[in-house]
Amino acid sequence: MSARVLLLVILLLQLAPGPLWVAAAPAPEVQENLEYQISLGPWSDVARVHLVFKELEPGHYLAEFSGAAQGMWHLLSRWLPERYQTEMVLREGRLLPLVYREEFISNGRHILKEYRFDHERGHLSLWRRVEGGEKVKKWQTPLKGPVYDLLTLFYNVRLGVFGPLAGGATLRVMGLPTPGPQEMAFVIGPVTADGRKIMMDHRLPNSNTVDQYFIYLNPEQVPTLGWTRVTLFGKLAGRLLNPGAIRPEVLPALPSTAALVPKAQP
């Protein structure tokens, strides 16, 4: 399971080596825990992934996405375990990322990537750690406007920060730089039996390859189904297993300034 699973499940449109940072004891209570089942071609249950939301303190939140392969797929995956984690704060009518972390295994080595947002000084930096070594700063770039990792984007869409997602419109936001700017564009389609259909084309950095993703959102703007195509295997899909676990009431209430945030453009 690679980063494509994260894009698939919460690509949302809306839609470390060593231990990751954790809050001081007592641990924050899990406010919401959504579980997705991943299928690949004819195999219906190759992985289970969880999207967890916690409140660390008033106005300070933690979202975490992690997963584990099932059965024989433990032997076939080089990228597990995977973990994506974002600390966010509520500010000026939207959630802003403070730190976004990716934990994965590459060529047998544990890798931690940490994006640090300094909103006061106006810059974003990437730090990387291999195995148990020191974190090394890879680059720093100006932070001139809102930049979203996928987890922060997911919760801002659920909160209605971008306004109504009307069919025929396109939502454009800036994603994590590489360090050059990376725009994400989500084409908003009609409401179907599976929910509001969303389409996104994703081009890998320094590559001509374009991956196309389809996401379906329920009325609470939560992805319940998503899929893409994988060479040789066919369809890679994710489906929400526990829609009853969706808890809109645990999300922060946004002030009226949220109306000042740009909405999806037709």
Q: 3-class DSSP state for residue 256?
A: helix
Is 20 inside a domain boundary? no
Output the CA angle 182-183-184, nearest 5 degrees.
120
Query: Tell me, what's the pLDDT at 224?
Result: 95
Is 159 inside a domain boundary? yes
Contact 160, 258 (CB under 8 A): yes
Task: Give 180's contacts (C-beta < 8 A, 6+ positions apart).
Answer: none
Which of 33, 68, 64, 66 has the alpha carbon at shortest distance from 47?
68
Is 21 inside a domain boundary? no
Q: 3-class DSSP state for residue 150?
A: helix
How many beta carbons lie within 10 A of that of residue 28, not counting itself? 17
Q: CA-CA distances (angstroms) from residue 87 to 99, 166, 180?
A: 5, 29, 23
Query: Tell me, what's the pLDDT at 230?
Result: 83
Is 197 inside a domain boundary? yes
Query: Tell me, what's the pLDDT at 132?
Result: 80
Domain region containing 121? 3-15+27-260
Query: Tell me, what's the pLDDT at 254?
Result: 61
Query: Tell me, what's the pLDDT at 47?
Result: 86
Q: Which pTM was predicted?
A: 0.82
Residue reference for tokens 């690509």:
11
Is 265 inside a domain boundary? no
The DSSP bridge pattern shows strands 234-240 and 223-230 to be antiparallel
Q: Which residues of the chain have pLDDT under 50?
A: 1-2, 9-25, 75-76, 78-80, 256-263, 266
Query: Tell me, what's the pLDDT at 10?
Result: 46
Q: 3-class DSSP state for residue 90?
A: strand
Query: Tell me, what's the pLDDT at 259?
Result: 41
Q: CA-CA distances (angstroms) from residue 63 to 57, 207, 214, 236?
A: 13, 30, 23, 24
Query: Tell me, what's the pLDDT at 26?
Result: 59
The tokens of 94 are what? 């939207």
- CA torsion sign for 44, 241, 219, 170 is negative
Is 202 inside a domain boundary? yes
Query: Tell me, what's the pLDDT at 73?
Result: 55
The number of distinct structural domains making up the chain is 1
Q: How confident is the model over 59-71, as pLDDT tens digits?
A: 999 999 988 766 6
Is 266 inside a domain boundary? no
Query: Tell me, what's the pLDDT at 157?
Result: 92
Is 22 inside a domain boundary? no
Angle of helix 3-10 relative to helix 150-158, nearest 10 degrees, comes to: 10
